[in-house]
Amino acid sequence: MKPFELIEHTADVGIKAWGSTLTELFENAARGMFIIITGEEYKPQGSEIEKKIEINENRDDLEGVLVSWLSELLYIFNREKIYFNNFKISSLNNNGIKAEASGINIDLYQNGLYKEIKAVTFHNLKIEEDVDGFSCTIIFDV
C-alpha cells in the first residue's frame, strides 16, 4: 500500500493518504504534508528534536481530529522551525490523539526550500474504510 500521493488541484495542493490502520493513515497524512512543503527529494540533516502532541476535542469527530493533528504539526513547524519526519501515534480515537513527533530543527526558508501551507482544509474531507484499510483526501490551502 502506498503511504500517500500528491493530487492535482487548480489553486491548492492535495494528498491522498492510505493506511492499513487509522494510526498509519494519520502518520502517512503527516508525512505527505511535510513532503508538500519541501518536495520528495529533501533529506533533512541536523539535530533531532522530539515533541509530544496531545489533542483532546471530545467532539466525536475523526475528521476533525485529523485536521487538528495536521494543523498542530504545522503550527509547531511554523513557530519552532522543526521539520517533522517521524511520527509515533500511541492513541487515537474520534475524540483525540496522543503522539510523539520528531524532526530536525532547520530554517527551511533560509535554504529556499519552502512551500508555505496556509492551512489544512475540511474540503470534501472524509476518512473512508475498505478491505485494505483506510484512506482520505486532504486539500491544503497554499
Q: Which residues, including other chains, have CB under 8 Å from residue 5's CB and lie 6 or more apart?
A: 15, 16, 32
> What residues from 79 to 138 belong to the interface with other proteins (CB under 8 A)?
79, 109, 112-116, 118-125
Task: Select from 2, 10, 52, 130 the one that contacts other proteins (CB under 8 A).
Answer: 10
- DSSP 8-state secondary structure symbol assigned to residue 96: E
67 forms part of the interface with other proteins (CB under 8 A)? yes
Amino acid identity of residue 100, one-letter, is E
What span, in angstroms and rounded, lies between the C-alpha atoms of 53 and 141?
23
Could you give the CA distance from residue 5 to residue 18 in angstroms, rounded to a whole number?
9
Answer yes or no whether residue 11 interacts with other proteins by CB under 8 A. yes
Q: Is 61 in the site for other proteins (CB under 8 A)?
A: yes
Rule CB under 8 A: which residues touch other proteins? 6, 8-13, 39, 59, 61, 63-64, 67-68, 71, 75, 78-79, 109, 112-116, 118-125, 139, 141-142
